[in-house]
Amino acid sequence: MGSMVTIDVKAGAAAKQRDDAVVLPLLEGRKFTPAGDKLAGQEETRATLRAWLRRFDHLGKFGDIGTLYDVPGMFAPRLVVVGAGEERKLSLNGLRRLAAKTAHELDKRGARDVAVYLADLNVRGASVADKVRAVAEGVWLGLYRFDKYRTKKEENRRPLRRVTVMVPSRRDLDAAEAAVERARAVCAGVMFARDLGNEPGNVCTPEHLGEQALALKHPKLKVTVMDKKAIEKAGFTALLAVNQGSAREPRFIVLEYAGGAKKDAPVALVGKGLTFDSGGISIKPAAQMDEMKFDMCGAAAVLGVFRAATELNLPVNLLGVIASTENMSGAAAYKPGDVVTSYKGLTIEVQNTDAEGRLILADALAYAAERKPAEIIDFATLTGACVIALGSQASGLMGTSSRLKKALARAGEDSGDRVWELPMYEEYQEQIKSKIADIRNIGGREAGTITAACFLSRFVDDVPWAHLDIAGTAWNMKGSEISAPGATGAGVRVVMDYLASRSS
């Protein structure tokens, strides 16, 4: 992930800032926000800005960027004007994207220290602190790059070094500074998850995931990593079945963070940690199989949340559970037609060895439920069907708790890490009935995302539970404004937003 650019907050007029550049938003229809109006109202700058706007080079369309140099009446050598589009359509997620696009441009153009007035935009229902957090997240997430394995890195002699987010009044400073600190911790968690996801499968093994969990340090955090021998002793037999075809040992990782009151049951976070998924005997097509290094992004999300929560000293109790293995087709690999007994004791007929994630999650969820948490949230790159249903714009959301699902949906909208609920009607459970075991591990072509969630539901007992299928959101090889091509860190922001609201 490298070092994060410095972000701070300040109040003051655009004309008086001495940074390399001042960034002002322009609304569609060539309308400035209050900070821009104040600058344009100065006698020295009025004629220059009016003449520039009359040229119709810059209409304020979302993402348009124009630069004016040596504007009379300004100390800064550059005035960068960023199109914000229609103000009534602007959301916090749009503000994140706009901040990310702006940071990209400034980083390329050699402006090292900049003052940005993007929090001057009006976003319906958002406070100044909300807008500052969105801008900070956009800058940090947008500048993320994973170039660890490039021997020749792209050189930028004058990279962006400091971003000062300008706020309307000195009265806003305390709340804005707290917003930046929260954004810093959350983005560090997202970038940690991205780094883990982007590592190649020969580096990010189950053992490596265990080492990364142990590297998280906090006085209130305890981490336990079970090797194969300990896993056998504990009885995580579904995890061991999936591991049979791999030469690499599995790991079962448990994280316990005691940030809340002793009497409070923890929120359990469960992650799928398939560090490489060949499909096993039911082998995947060769095309894009390299992307199956991302099949551990659920585990990465759990570790990312713990990184962020501990950095913020979040006042909640958390239990993290990660089951990790490869799914390979070695001589001892489990086979279609096998019957596997899970940690909970339920027997599972294996009809497709490429539906392995739900098997290892069965053991992880059952263990988490056994610990009597307040609720369980799991993260998993579980089904290709979810990619078909929702694409890369939202993670699939299913579960047994209406309250938890509604809260996660709100957190998804606020954080921009969106989720969309799919139904789990009782009739879907019929599709995973087996003739020779308790359940089977696939439910046929119809409603594949939902029947996978139905399978998982058998292992959570009566604990309130939500399942996030991040198969479509965990990685994006095209990239976006706030995510370079590769792992996205999906799941971290939505759950951190939920935990923050839960603990407030």
Residues 210 and 114 in one domain: no
Residues 318 and 409 in one domain: yes
pTM: 0.96
Domain boundary among 132, 164, 187: 187
Pairing of β 465-469 and β 395-399: antiparallel
Residues 41 and 163 in one domain: yes
CATH number of the domain enclosing 124? 3.40.220.10
Q: Is 194 a domain residue?
A: no
Helix, coil or strand: residue 371: coil
Residues 95 and 160 in one domain: yes
Residues 276 and 418 in one domain: yes
Q: Is 73 a domain residue?
A: yes
Q: Is 169 a domain residue?
A: yes
Q: How far is CA 15 from CA 25, 42, 476, in A?
A: 15, 9, 40
Q: For the chain, what's the residue count?
A: 504
Residues 267 and 132 in one domain: no
Q: Is 192 a domain residue?
A: no
Q: How far is CA 112 from CA 101, 108, 382, in A?
A: 16, 10, 42
End-to-end Cα spacing for the chain: 30
The conformation of residue 400, written as its DSSP 8-state character, comes to S
Residues 146 and 214 in one domain: no
Please count the structural domains in the chain: 2
Q: Determine the pLDDT at residue 3.
A: 67
Dist. CA 95–CA 82, nearest whole Å = 11
Q: Is 331 a domain residue?
A: yes
Dist. CA 218–CA 194, nearest whole Å = 21
Q: Determine the pLDDT at residue 1.
A: 55
Q: Determine the pLDDT at residue 155.
A: 66
CATH number of the domain enclosing 436? 3.40.630.10
Q: What is the pLDDT of residues 147-187, one digit of tens each?
A: 889 887 666 567 899 999 999 999 999 999 999 999 999 99
Active site residues per annotation: 284, 358
- Going residue by residue through the chain, which has 504 residues, state the pLDDT in tens, using 9 for 90 and above: 556 899 999 999 999 999 999 999 999 988 999 999 999 999 999 999 988 888 767 788 999 999 999 999 999 999 999 999 998 999 999 999 999 999 999 988 888 999 999 999 999 999 999 999 999 999 999 999 998 898 876 665 678 999 999 999 999 999 999 999 999 999 999 999 999 999 999 999 999 999 999 999 999 999 999 999 999 999 999 999 999 999 999 999 999 999 999 999 999 999 999 999 999 999 999 999 999 999 999 999 999 999 999 999 999 999 999 999 999 999 999 999 999 999 999 999 999 999 999 999 999 999 999 999 999 999 999 999 999 999 999 999 999 999 999 999 999 999 999 999 999 999 999 999 999 999 999 999 999 999 999 999 999 999 999 999 999 999 999 999 999 999 999 999 999 999 999 887
Q: Is 483 a domain residue?
A: yes
Cross-strand partners of 397: 421, 468
| Two tokens, residue 271 | 């992650």
Q: What is the phi-psi region of residue 491: left when phi exceeds 0, alpha when psi lies from -120 to 50, beta otherwise?
A: left
Residues 411 and 368 in one domain: yes
Q: Considering only CA atoms, which of 246, 244, 211, 204 is closest in space to residue 225? A: 211
Residues 6+ apart with CB under 8 A from 432: 439, 440, 441, 442, 443, 451, 454, 455
| Two tokens, residue 202 | 């020969």
Note whether 97 and 481 are within 8 A (CB): yes
Q: Determine the pLDDT at residue 2.
A: 55
Burial class from Cβ neighbours inside 10 Å (0-12, 13-18, 19+) for residue 219 reads exposed
Residues 277 and 303 in one domain: yes
Domain boundary among 187, 207, 236: 187
Domain boundary among 147, 167, 187: 187
CB atoms within 10 A of CB 129: 20
Q: Considering only CA atoms, which of 238, 149, 270, 281 is closest in space to residue 202? A: 149
Residues 461 and 429 in one domain: yes
Q: Is 78 a domain residue?
A: yes
| Two tokens, residue 63 | 């993402």
Q: Is 1 a domain residue?
A: no
Q: How far is CA 17 from CA 20, 22, 164, 336, in A?
A: 9, 7, 10, 67
Helix, coil or strand: residue 88: helix
Q: What is the phi-psi region of residue 279: left when phi exceeds 0, alpha when psi lies from -120 to 50, beta otherwise?
A: left
Residue 87 belongs to domain spanning = 6-187
| Two tokens, residue 448 | 């594949």
CB atoms within 10 A of CB 34: 12
Dist. CA 468–CA 407, nearest whole Å = 13
Residues 430 and 495 in one domain: yes
Residues 290 and 170 in one domain: no
